[in-house]
Structure 1
Amino acid sequence: MKFYNSRGPNPRMVRMFMAEKGIDIPKVEIDLLAGENRREPYTTKVNPAGQCPALELDDGTVIAEITAICEYLDEIKKDTPSLIGDTPAERANTRMWTRRIDLNIIEPGANGFRFSEGLKLFENRVRCIPEAAEGLKATARDKLAWLDGLMGAKPFVAGNKISMADVLLFSFIDFMANVKQPLDPANKNIGAWFERMKARPSAAA
């Protein structure tokens, strides 16, 4: 297998997931800043969506989209604890929280960055809506506060053990803090959770 890697929170999420699972896959570095992911041969041979990361299997099949990659890796690596779940109910719970985080926090927060601080990088790559940036950032903040209230004393987002939802949220909260969207200190439950996640060896991936 080959892992098409680059800078940014999406590849980092998968690298952290692989570290948690004890998986090491050879990496092919893609120059995101130079737009290597947005032109041939990447768009014709790897991912027509022009996004990173991507996982190429031994038979040449390419899997893109970070949650799809992680679910595949979780299924093939059975000798380490699953980060999706061991039962249908656990897997459904993980996928529910992963989707909530993706739609409610990551998408608005990431687009808020793309449409403002990241505008010069993204304006010729995707449709940007600069006037929507501040509202999108506010949406992400609102949903982080909502999640903070639901977290309570739970050690992890989906319950008592780490899951894909935690890896996804951590990677993006850490990224957003570096693009002028820091976590509100009032979100004490998520703040404590973030520090626990940051202390895990996989956070260095």
Structure 2
Amino acid sequence: MKLYQSLGPNPRVVLMYLAETGVQVDRQFVDIMAAENRQPDFSAKSPLAHTPLLELDDGSCIAESIAICEYMDETLGGHALLGATAAERARTRMLMRIVDQLVVVPMTAGFRGAEGMPMFESRLLCLPDAAADLKRLAADGLAQVDRLLGEGPWLAGERFSLADILLYSFVEFGAMVGQPPDPALTNLAAWRDRVAARPAAIDSANPQLGIGEPA
């Protein structure tokens, strides 16, 4: 298998999964700033020319970060971060769906309509007039997640999961693009500190490094 990775929160989800589980795959960096993902050889593999992308040994490909992680967790990771039982896996998927709807979608759309416009306006529908409201939606989503977290330690309670990786990747992304979480969200802040202390959070911070290489 080969993982095509790049800058961005979605590739970080997969890199952090690999760092957490120790799953090993060949990796190739794709320079999205130079539009390498939009070249014919890559876009033929990825339905939307997105990264990350996992190419299987038979040449078939899986796009989208969560789908890639679920595939690896089911085939290589022994349900390490989805859950050991059907009930645990369903809860992880429920939490990922909540994070995706409440935080990921409005945060990325708000970014594309504002700071990310120069990069995205030529190839995606961007909504500059709605950017401020989309950012407000993402901020409200983080407030709802703060309530879900309670005292934690993790989204699924005592079990660190792929839902935590998804949320952390986008909380960190938001902080880099003008959408930091409200400091008043103390549950979220404590959770963020706990995740940041995990070695996988450090190992996944630079997509141009191999897992375990010094940052």
Q: Report TM bin, short chain.
A: over 0.9
Q: Which residue of 1 aligns with 2:64?
A: 65
Write the letter of the residue equivalent to 2:64.
Answer: E
The 1-side partners of 2:54 and 2:148 are apart by: 34
How many pairs does the alignment contain? 203
Q: Which residue of 1 aligns with 2:143?
A: 145
Identify the range of structure 1 (19-28 vs 193-202) with the bigger mean alpha-carbon deviation: 19-28
Structure 1 runs (4+) greater than 4 angstroms displaced = none
The 1-side partners of 2:87 and 2:26 are apart by: 33
Deviation at 1:76, TM superposition (A): 1.8
The 2-side partners of 1:78 and 1:172 are apart by: 23
In angstroms, what is the RMSD of aligned CA positions? 1.1
Q: Which residue of 1 aligns with 2:104?
A: 106
Tell me which of 168, 171, 185 is aligned to 1:170.
168
Measured against aligned partners, the alpha-carbon deviations of 1:75-122 in whole angstroms (never above 9, x if no partner) come to: 12246x610011111111000000110111011001101110010010
Contact map agreement 1:53 1:66 (CA 8 A) in 2: yes
Within the alignment, does 1:54 sit opposite 2:53 as a pair? yes
Contact map agreement 2:23 2:77 (CA 8 A) in 1: no
TM (normalized to structure 2)?
Answer: 0.91
TM (normalized to structure 1)?
Answer: 0.96
Q: Which residue of 2 aligns with 1:132?
A: 130
Secondary structure at 1:125 match in 2? coil
Summarize the alignment of residues 8-27 of structure 1 with structure 2, pairs less than 5 Å apart.
8-27=8-27
Contact map agreement 1:4 1:53 (CA 8 A) in 2: yes
Contact map agreement 2:47 2:63 (CA 8 A) in 1: no
Q: Which residue of 2 aligns with 1:182?
A: 180
Distance 1:49 1:185, change over 3 A: same
The 2-side partners of 1:78 and 1:66 are apart by: 15
Q: Which residue of 1 aligns with 2:209?
A: none
Identity value in percent: 48
The 2-side partners of 1:163 and 1:127 are apart by: 32
Q: Which residue of 2 aligns with 1:201?
A: 199
The 2-side partners of 1:199 and 1:153 are apart by: 17
The 2-side partners of 1:8 and 1:78 are apart by: 23
Deviation at 1:161, TM superposition (A): 0.9
The 2-side partners of 1:82 and 1:24 are apart by: 14
Deviation at 1:39, TM superposition (A): 2.9
Identify the range of structure 1 (146-155 vs 5-14) with the bigger mean alpha-carbon deviation: 146-155
Write the letter of the residue equivalent to 2:3.
Answer: F
The unaligned stretches of length 5 or more in structure 2 are: 205-215
